[in-house]
Chain A
Amino acid sequence: MTTFRQAGLILLIAVGLAGVTAAVHPKRPAFVAPPTDPNQLNLAQVQHWAGTVLWVDARPDAEFASGHIPEAVSLNFENWPEQFPKFLDLYGPDRQVVVYCSATSCQLSREIAEKLRTSGITNAYFLEGGWEAWKQAHP
């Protein structure tokens, strides 16, 4: 039997075993996708808003300094009391606030957007993919 056939058979067995696991294992993962956050947006959706977006960078100061979306405002947990009033000076109800941090796996943008919403900024969203997604779209 060729290597390819053998590999194929092994895969088949693995798939069978995986199927059984998925069906009966008491600790099997759920196969329905967990709901996505209604406040999460991707870059394509944000492009629609073009000039009205107010970008908020949730990363620590050092990361912000080394590169950020043009005209983004830095707002992080470490310096919130000093930075929030400065953010307010730029904010207006006609602006859409989109918070970002480093990448999809980063939770800071979601947390800062949440804090903005509880502060009274109702149109605060966070960017899926973060700074990495931006860099990919704007090389």
Chain B
Amino acid sequence: MSTVNRTVAARPVLRISHYALRFLIAALFLFAAVAKLLDPAAFAQQIANYQLTPWPVTAGLAVLLPSLELSVGICLLFGRWESGALAWTAILLAIFSGALVAAIARGLSIDCGCFGRSVENTGTIWPLIRNLALLVVTGFLWLSRDRR
């Protein structure tokens, strides 16, 4: 691990990549968090539609998740508590991937549970690939982080 660190410290390219990617993930999280925090009630309703959690938990998640994203985004932006922030990044990405996989596997609609789709479903793989890519980026950021 420390060899990676030294390598990163020694190569400006890698350092710059580290900052750029960190900034990118920070921006993604911040935008998402703010968007959700504008209307938590609607977000709660969306979570509730999946009926995976009892209501009080659903309402709690609706305010906690965006708050977590906001906190992580700010930490990554300013490079503070990077390890903790990256840990949360990976956790959130993993949860989302899990939900995506479950949704694809079930292939059910919300209202009637029918399998009908009206346009060729070419896009479900994409979100999963993007998520994996972000996980790889997170991995890189983790390995190349400053250990001060």
Q: Do chains A and B touch in the complex (CB under 8 A)?
A: yes
CA distance A131 to B38 in the complex (A): 37
- A105 in contact with B63 given A3-B87, A10-B71, A27-B41 (CB within 8 Å): no
Q: Which of A7, A15, A22, A59 contacts B88 (CB 8 A)?
A: A7
Closest chain A CB from B68 CB (angstroms): 4
In Å, the complex CA distance between A62 and B45 comes to 30
Within 8 Å by CB of B40, from A5, A9, A25, A62, lies A25
Give me 8 other A-B pairs in contact (C-beta within 8 A), A21-B63, A106-B111 excluded: A4-B84, A6-B84, A9-B81, A25-B40, A31-B56, A59-B114, A105-B113, A106-B110
Encode A90-108 as 1/0 by CB contact (under 8 A) with B. 0000000000011111111
Which bucket holds chain B's interface residue count?
35 or more
A28 near B50 with CB under 8 A, answer no
Write the chain B residue with the least CB distance to A7. Answer: B84
Q: How many residues of A contact B (CB 8 A)?
A: 42
Say if the beta carbon of A43 comes within 8 Å of chain B.
no
Asked if A106 meets B112 with Cβ closer than 8 Å, knowing A7-B87, A17-B70, A22-B63, the reply is yes
A-B contact pairs, 28 of them (CB 8 A): A10-B75, A10-B81, A10-B84, A10-B85, A13-B67, A15-B67, A17-B71, A21-B37, A22-B59, A25-B40, A25-B63, A27-B40, A27-B41, A29-B43, A29-B63, A30-B41, A30-B59, A33-B54, A60-B112, A62-B115, A101-B113, A102-B112, A103-B106, A103-B108, A106-B113, A107-B110, A107-B112, A108-B111
Interchain CB contact under 8 A, A104 and B51: yes
Which of A1, A13, A29, A130 has the most chain B CB atoms closer than 10 A to its own CB?
A29
Query: B84 touching A21 by the CB < 8 A rule?
Result: no
Lowest 7 A-B CB distances belong to which pairs?
A: A102-B113, A6-B84, A29-B44, A3-B83, A7-B84, A17-B67, A6-B81
B67 CB contacts on chain A under 8 angstroms:
13-15, 17-18, 21
* Interface secondary structure of B, over-half rule: helix
Q: Is A34 an interface residue (CB 8 A)?
A: yes
Q: Are B59 and A31 in contact (CB under 8 A)?
A: yes
What residues of A have a CB within 8 angstroms of the CB of B41 in the complex? 27-30
Task: Determine whether B20 belongs to the interface, using a CB cutoff of 8 Å to chain A.
Answer: no
Chain A residues near B51 (CB-CB < 8 A): 103-105
Closest beta carbon of chain B to A130's beta carbon, Å = 7
A131–B55 alpha-carbon span in the complex (Å): 22
Q: How far is the CB of A22 from chain B (nearest CB, A)?
A: 5
For the complex, is A8 an interface residue (Cβ under 8 Å from B)? yes
Chain B residues lying within 8 Å of A22, measured Cβ to Cβ, are: 40, 59-60, 63
